[in-house]
Structure 1
Amino acid sequence: MPDTRDAGQAFRKQPLRGTSVRSRVISELRGRIISGELAPGTSLSEIVLSEAFGVSRTPVREALKQLQTEGLVNIRPRVGTFVSAPSRREITELFQMKELLEGAAARLLAQRGRVPELEELADNLARADAAVADGDQERYAELVHEFHDLVMRGADNAKLADHYRTLMNQLAYHRLVHTSLSQPGRPTRSESEHHHVLELVRAKDGDGAERVMREHVRASHRALMDSLDPQASPTAPRAAD
């Protein structure tokens, strides 16, 4: 069932100005959907949003059409526009693509040799180790995003990065990570897997880096599906990252 809430309250007194109002509306809505501030099923009213942004309905309508193309909203004729809520099948398909893209990125990074991203990844893991030790799940979730972004950036392939960004937006991955990391033991396992990926990248083992990254994503997907299954045991290990 669609969520009957609408986005109006979140945008009160936030008029947008600039050379491209449409782009600003797209950016604002996209960011709030991806972060989870606008939850799946939230109603997006053209009238409410245009009043909140201080713009006409035209750029809002154009922005919503663009976000539908990106898979972030659903426009239902004569019903309304809602923040997308991916089905289990869609999540599975998106994770299959995530596995392919992140595996390829790990391979490409390993083939590049010593690049600045390697030191940045090492620093990320040091900070992530501390966050896990402190039990700071909020901080660790942020560092998970940073780790995967660094791997993708280190691959130095703009086309790959573009596809990856669209994919992650459609997954609204922030919400999934926060949910999964609440499961006992997952932050520790996740961090160990990240260390293994970096070890293979540093060894310039492209085959190994791709294999381990893909295994990591597959394990994440399996655990996420367990967490979404109401029949799953509450003590079963669950995760996603």
Structure 2
Amino acid sequence: MQEPTRPAGTPLRQTSMQARVAEELRQMIISGAMPPGSGLSEMTLSQTFGVSRTPIREALKQLQIEGLVEVRPRVGTFVAAPSRREITELFQMKELFEGAAARLLAFRGNVPEVDHLEANMRAADAAVRKGDSERYEELVHEFHDLIVVGADNSKLEAHYRTLMNQLAYARLVRTSLAQPGRLSESDHEHHHVLDLIRAKDGDGAERVMREHVRRSHQALMAGMDNDRYRG
């Protein structure tokens, strides 16, 4: 595989620092450790990461390209806070990607990812019985990731991961699963998707996966409305 190039004149060490800072900031934003709207001061981040402001600045530019960071001229740099419309549009794309992935995986037959999905469902069932939403949340991420990886389509996977970063999905799924009854509903929907994948029913797997993503989006919107009302 060809090594990634770096801008001419950029020292390798500086490029490595930029990549490390970008990855750590990316994970902090995606996980919700840095909530939407949080200010991102180059000086503060430089002190936090123990690097100069140059790799911080370049890392923020990269995250801006990815849609995770917003630069407001003459105001500052902030963690992006997607609007309801943007969230809806991103979920529409998520529905397309995951539906296609479920279809492709179903057509592949008995591959290792299907066995991993079955193990995931056993663990998810146990988490639902215990009412362990935190553990179930982890298993939700694993379930969807296994389907995308199992599709065995590198282009689909690359675009999907960029999309999931823009969604900062970890914090959104928390809101979705907090809705009454959503934990068990989500678990049931996952079972239905897996049953169709095992049956090698590509059309059915795609349809049900897309329905599942739509229901997750609806639960998220309801949760956001409730949070706004309580605020």
- TM-score computed with the length of structure 2 as normaliser: 0.91
CA distance in 2, matches of 1:105, 1:158: 11
Residue 163 of structure 1 deviates from its aligned partner by 0.7
Aligned to 1:157: 153
Query: How far apart, CA to CA, are the structure 2 residues paired with 1:233 and 1:30?
Result: 30
2:193 to 197, 204, 213: 197
1:20 aligns to what SS in structure 2? Answer: helix
Structure 1: distance between partners of 2:142 and 2:187: 13
2:85 corresponds to 1:101: no
| Matched positions, count | 218
Amino acid in structure 2 at the alignment position of 1:139: R
Is residue 188 from structure 1 mapped to residue 184 from structure 2 by the alignment?
A: yes
* 1:39 corresponds to 2:35: yes
SS in structure 2 opposite 1:229?
Answer: helix
Letter in 1 for 2:220: L
Q: Identity of paired residues, percent?
A: 71
- Deviation (angstroms), 1:76: 1.2
- Which residue does the alignment assign to 2:5? none
Correspondent of 1:116 among 112, 117, 129 = 112
- The 8 Å contact of residues 179 and 219 in structure 2, kept in 1 or not, is answered as no
Contact 2:193 2:205 in 1 (8 A): yes
In 2: Cα distance, 1:39 partner to 1:65 partner: 18
1:108 deviation in Å? 0.4
Counterpart of 1:3? none
Gaps of 5+ in 2: 1-12
Q: Which has the higher contact order (CA 8 A, sep 6+)?
A: 2
Q: Deviations over 1:70-101 (max 9, x none)?
A: 00010112110000111000000000000000
Look up the match of 1:207. Answer: 203
Name the SS of the counterpart of 1:75 in structure 2: strand
Instruction: Show structure 1 runs of 5+ residues with no match.
Output: 1-16, 235-241
Match of 1:226 in 2: 222
Equivalents in 1 of 2:228, 2:129: separation in Å?
28
2:173–2:220 contact (8 Å) kept in structure 1: no
Distance 2:38 2:228 in 1: 27
- Distance in 1 (CA, whole Å) between partners of 2:211 and 2:25 is 33
Alpha-carbon distance in 2 for matches of 1:128, 1:91? 26
CA distance in 2, matches of 1:193, 1:28: 33
CA contact (8 A) 1:103 1:214 kept: yes
Q: Verify the 8 A CA contact 1:226 1:232 in the aligned structure 2.
A: no
Secondary structure at 2:99 match in 1: helix
Q: Deviations 1:188-221 (Å, cap 9, x if unpaired)? A: 0000000000010011100000000001111111
Instruction: Indicate yes or no: 2:51 matched with 1:20.
Output: no
Identify the match of residue 140 of structure 1 among 136, 141, 155.
136
TM-score (norm 1): 0.87
Return the structure number with greater helix share.
2
Aligned partner letter, 1:147: F
Going from structure 1 to structure 2, the CA distance change for 1:230 and 1:186 (only over 3 Å counts) comes to closer
For 2:101 and 2:168, how far apart are their aligned partners in 1? 20
How far 1:175 sits from its partner (Å)? 0.7
Q: Secondary structure at the match of 2:109?
A: coil
* Counterpart secondary structure, 2:134: helix
Compared CA separation, residues 223 and 60, structure 1 to 2 (3 A)? same
